[in-house]
Chain A
C-alpha cells in the first residue's frame, strides 16, 4: 500500500496574550490510501488543529511554524492560473492560488456543526454551483445542477429540495449536504472533524454508516477527528491518541481497544462505558489538561499519570515503535530521546 499523506514534524503555534501555545507539537504520521485514521483526545489536545493544518486552515491566531505535509496526487491538478504536477506535493510550499485549487478538489473537510457550516443566505443549489464553478470555471449551470442533484439523491435527499435554503433542513440533512458538498469533486482525502457530535445518536449512526459506504464507493482516505472512542471503534482502521499537541499512541483500532499501551489511552478507555460489560466500573483521569502556554518539562502527561517515574519529569518521550509495529510515546516502553 502507498501513503497518501505524510506529515513530518508538524508544529502549530498560537500566539496569545499570555504567551505562545504549541497547539500541535512535532507531529509526524503517515496515512495509507483507503484507510481511515481516527484522531482522538480530549478538548484542546490539538486534534482539530492538526486536521485543519492539513488544509492550511489553522484558525487565527494559529500558525504552522514547522513541518512538511506531503500529499500524493494521482493526476495533475489544472486550475486557471497554473498546474500542480502529480506525485507528492508539499502543501506547505503551495501559494494561495494552488491551495485553493487543492481545497475541495483533493481534500474535503467536514465540520462539526452542520447548523452553522452552510451559508444561511444562499440555497443548497448555489452552494453546489459555487464549488463546481470554483474548480471548473467552464462548467455549465445545468450540468452542475444535474451532478448536484445526483449527489443529493445518493445521500437520501430528494433532488427537488436543492432550491431550499439551509434553514429548511434538519441537522442530519444539513450534514448530508455538507458531505455531498465535500464529495462533489471526488476528493481523495476526506477530513471529518467531529462530523456527528452535534447530531442525535440515531442520525449519528446513519451518517457514519453512509460515510463508510461512500468511503468504499469513492475510494476515500479518511481522517476522522472525534473525542468519541465508540465512533472510532466502528469506523477507523488506526487510531492516534493525542494529548497536549502530541501523538501519544498510534495503533490499529482492534489492538488499541484490546491492549492499550499508553497509560493515557488506558485511562481514557477506562472512562468509557461499555454496553457489553454492564458491571464495568468507570474511572476518570485526575487533574486538568496541561497548560500549553507554560509547558512542564518531561512528559506532558506526567502529573496525571499512574506510572510516573523520575525520567518522566525531565525528559520528553519520543514516539517509538514496539515489536507489534505500534507507535507509543512513553518511557515505560523505552525510547529515550
Chain B
C-alpha cells in the first residue's frame, strides 16, 4: 500500500512543479543572460531531455536514496535533507508531544466536568486554537514574549554566542543530553519554546475535542458503569477503563495529524526562521528548484507513511483484540 502511494505522490509532485509557471534556469540568473548560457544550464540540469526521460531518470534514483542534484547549487538534495531534517523532526516531536499531552489533559477534564463552565471554556479554547492560523499565533507570541517582554529568543534554533553540541542525531536538545552539555540544552530549549507552543497549540484543539468526545462516550459504556457497580475507585475507572479505551481513536488521529503537523511545520518554520525542511521548501519554491521540491515532498510522504506504520504496530500492542 505504501509503495504505490509514494509512487503516486512522486508522479504528482513531478508534474505539478513543472506545470507551475517559472523556469529554474531563468530564476537562477539574476540578470538577462544569453540563450546559450541558459541552454547550457538546462543541459547541466538534465532539463533538455524529454519530460518522460526526466521522469524515469529521477525515479531510478529514489530507491537508492538519490533525490538528484539541487537546481540551485548543484549539491545533492539528500544532503540538504540530512542537514535540515533534524531541526524539523525536533520541532515536530515536541509540538506533537505538547499537543497530545495538553489535548488529553484538557479533553479528560472537559469530559469529567461535562456541561460545566470548565467544559464550555475548554471547548471554546479548542475551537479557537483549531481555527487560528499558525503564522498569526506565531507572530503574536513572538511580539509578546520576544519583543515586548524579551523573555525568549526567536529566529533560528541556537544562539551564535554558544557552541552547538556535537552532532549525533542533529537534534540539539537530544545531542545536548547525550553529551551532557547542560548549557547547550538550555539554549536550544529556549529557542524551541515559542515554535513548539505555536505549532502544538494549533494542533491540540483537535486532540481536546477528540479526547472529550471519546471519553464521554466511553464513560457511558456498560463496562464503566459495571466497574462503578463493583466499587472501583474513580481514578481507576477514569484511567484504566475510560482513558485506555478512549485512547485508541486518539492514536489514529496522531497518525492523521502528523501530515498536518508537517504542513504546519512549514508555516511555523517560516514564521520563526527555523532552519528546517519547511523553510528549505519555501526557499526552493521561489527558485523553482524542481529536484529539491520533489525531494522534500517525497521525503515528507515517506515519513507520514512510516509514522502510520509505527502507529499501526502500536495499536496492535495496545489493543489486545488486534493481533498482527
Contact = CB atoms under 8 A, between A and B. Distances in A.
B223 A134 contact: no
Contacts of A105: 231
A309 interface: no
Given A113-B222, A134-B231, A167-B320, A121 B236 contact: no
A120 B240 contact: no
B257 interface: no
Given A103-B228, A104-B230, A165 B320 contact: yes
B226 A111 contact: yes
B213 to A, nearest CB: 16
Interface string B96-131: 000000000000000000100000000000000000
B320 A100 contact: no
Contacts of B236: 130, 134
By CB atoms of chain A within 10 A, which of B223, B318, B320 has the most? B223
B111 to A, nearest CB: 12
Query: Interface of chain B, helix or strand or loop or mixed?
Result: helix
Contact of A121 (B226, B232, B244): B244
B230 A103 contact: yes
Contacts of B220: 59-60
A252 to B, nearest CB: 29
B319 interface: yes
B241 interface: yes
Given A134-B231, A135-B231, A178 B226 contact: yes
Given A121-B245, A122-B240, A167-B320, A104 B231 contact: yes
B321 A131 contact: no
A71 interface: no
B183 interface: no
Interface in B55-97: none
Contacts of B234: 96
A117 interface: yes
A135 B234 CA distance: 14
Q: How large is the interface on A (under 10, 10 to 19, 20 to 34, 35 or more residues)?
A: 20 to 34
Contact of A111 (B225, B232, B245, B320): B225
Contact of B226 (A99, A101, A118): A118
A112 to B, nearest CB: 8
A108 B223 CA distance: 14
Interface in A126-177: 130-131, 134-135, 165, 167
Interface residues of B, number: 24
Contact of A57 (B225, B232, B233, B244): B225
B229 interface: yes
A104 B320 contact: no
A130 B237 CA distance: 10
A112, A130, A134, most chain B CB atoms within 10 A = A130
Contacts of A116: 221-223
Contact of A119 (B223, B229, B233, B318): B223
B227 interface: yes
Contacts of B240: 119, 121-122, 130
A116 B222 CA distance: 6
> Most chain-B CB neighbours within 10 Å: which of A101, A121, A134, A178?
A121
Contact of B229 (A103, A120, A123, A135): A103
B223 A100 contact: no
B221 A100 contact: no
14 contacts: A55-B229, A60-B220, A103-B231, A105-B231, A108-B229, A111-B229, A116-B221, A116-B222, A118-B223, A118-B226, A121-B245, A122-B240, A134-B231, A165-B321
Give the top 8 A-B pairs by smallest Cβ distance, nearest first. A104-B231, A104-B230, A103-B231, A109-B229, A116-B222, A165-B320, A117-B226, A117-B222
Given A102-B231, A111-B229, A134-B231, 15 more contacts: A57-B225, A100-B231, A103-B228, A103-B230, A104-B232, A105-B231, A109-B229, A111-B222, A112-B222, A118-B223, A118-B226, A120-B319, A121-B320, A130-B240, A178-B226
Interface of A: 55, 57, 59-60, 96, 99-105, 108-109, 111-113, 116-123, 130-131, 134-135, 165, 167, 178, 181-182
